[in-house]
Amino acid sequence: MKIPVVDLSEFTAGNAQQKEQFIQELGNAYEEVGFVAVKNHGVPADLIADLYKYVQQFFSLPITKKREYEIPDLAGQRGYTSFGKEHAKGSDAPDLKEFFQFGQKAEGNDFVPEEYPENVQVHEIAAFNPTFQQAYRAFEQSGTKLLQAIALYLGLEEHYFDEWVRNGNSILRAIHYPPITNEPKSAIRAEQHEDINLITLLVGASADGLQILTKQNEWVPVTSLPDQIVVNVGDMLQRLTNNKLRSTTHRVVNPPRELWHTSRFSIPFFLHPKGNMSLACLSSCVDDAHPKQYPDATAGEYLDERLREIGLKK
Q: Which of 251, 272, 249, 309 is nearest to 86 (CA)?
A: 309
Quick one: average pLDDT of 36-65?
Answer: 95
Structure letter (DSSP) for residue 259: G
Q: What is the mean pLDDT of the chain?
A: 89
State the Cα–Cα distance between residues 248 and 254, nearest whole angstrom: 20
Q: Indicate the length of the chain as a whole number.
A: 314
Question: DSSP characters for 166-183?
Answer: TT---EEEEEEEPPP-S-
Q: Which of 269, 104, 250, 272 is nearest to 198 (CA)?
A: 272
Which residue ranges form the domains of the chain, and what is each CATH number? 5-309 (2.60.120.330)
Model confidence at 88: pLDDT above 80? no
Q: What is the pLDDT of residues 273-295, one digit of tens each?
A: 999 999 999 999 999 999 999 99
Confidence class of residue 93 from pLDDT cuts 50, 70 and 90?
low
For residue 226, what pLDDT is reported?
78
For residue 196, what pLDDT is reported?
92
Q: What is the pLDDT of residues 209-266, one digit of tens each?
A: 888 888 788 898 887 677 899 999 999 999 999 999 989 898 988 888 888 888 889 9
State the Cα–Cα distance between residues 84 and 15, nearest whole angstrom: 48
State the Cα–Cα distance between residues 135 and 221, nearest whole angstrom: 26
Model confidence at 206: pLDDT above 60? no
Confidence class of residue 91 from pLDDT cuts 50, 70 and 90?
low
